[in-house]
Amino acid sequence: MEGTKKHFFIDVSVMLGRSMRHIVRSMDTIITVTIMPIMMMLLFVYVFGGAIQSGMDNYVNYLLPGILLMAISSGISYTAFRLFNDVQKGIFERFHTMPISRSALLWGHVLTSLVSNAISVVVIILVALIMGFRSSAGVLPWLAVAGILAMFTLALTWVAAIAGLSAKTVDGASAFSYPLIFLPFISSAFVPTESMPTAVRVFAENQPVTSIVESIRALLSGQPLHHDIWIALAWCVGIMLVAYLFAMKAHKKRI
């Protein structure tokens, strides 16, 4: 049993190294994922920020959590794209003819998504600091923020894995991410939900992005978390478990 586990982790590390080399050789994926949220942050802070009543003196502090989630939602589409390419080019089948763990290739893509999105998040936070973002949070709240973002990334990455394994075309493999990218717009990421019409407000207050954004915002500003943190964790864990099960089912069909 111990030898089987060791064999699995070695295989996953090899697949992770393979996927990360693709990222390093083609940095345009990380650049593309990072540039759009940064441009959105610049637009909202310096163009719309003066007209938005966020309840915070510094609008970039209010905006940053939503921008980070938008960057992750955009970044996971590349996981679906790379996985789809492996399936269509026959690489998926070739690896499964070798004496390696069946799910190692899939886990390699998932962990690559986690690493590449973490890089994008760090770059965006650095730009936000230049724009005036400030946080009174200590080490533990920052670690909690990192944990929430990692769980959100994993949850959406498993959704991306379903698309990458099931899609018939390259457009279909990446199109699923479009609604996810725009979901923060119908939440408290950019404006307080109190300013929205009733029907929109009800949706905004009961979708995953709002509770996650509110939790991250509270952690970074040193405010009480209330019940938002538990709702956010429930959304992340729930989506991750359901998506993982469906991704594994799609993976078995491919095998």
Query: Are residues 208 and 235 in contact, defined by beta-carbon separation less than 8 angstroms?
Result: yes
DSSP secondary-structure letter at 7? H
Cut 0.85: pTM above it: yes
- Burial of 57 (C-beta count, 10 Å sphere; 0-12/13-18/19+): exposed
Q: How far is CA 128 from CA 11, 61, 64, 121, in A?
A: 38, 8, 7, 10
- pLDDT per residue rounded down to tens, the chain (255 residues): 444 456 778 888 888 888 888 777 766 677 777 888 888 888 888 887 666 766 677 889 999 999 999 999 988 888 888 888 888 877 777 777 777 777 788 888 889 889 989 999 999 999 999 998 998 888 999 999 999 999 999 999 999 998 888 888 877 777 777 888 888 889 988 888 888 899 999 999 999 999 999 999 999 988 887 788 999 999 999 999 999 999 988 888 876
Q: What is the DSSP letter of 97?
A: T
Position 49 scores a pLDDT of: 66
What pLDDT score does 55 carry? Answer: 65
Closest to 148 in 3D by CA, of 230, 250, 37: 230
Show the domain range for 224.
Answer: 2-254
The per-residue pLDDT for 130 is 93
Given CA atoms 84, 87, 89, 94 in this order, what sign does their dihedral have?
positive
Question: What is the reported pLDDT for 251?
Answer: 83
Contact 113, 76 (CB under 8 A): yes
Evaluate whether 109 touches 192 at the Cβ level (below 8 Å). no
Number of domains composing the chain: 1
- What's the rounded Cα separation, in Å, for the pair 12 and 29? 22
pLDDT for 53: 66
Counting every residue written for the chain, the total comes to 255
Give the Cα-Cα-Cα angle 239, 244, 246 (nearest 5 degrees).
100
Smallest Cα–Cα separation from 19: which of 113, 94, 142, 92? Answer: 113
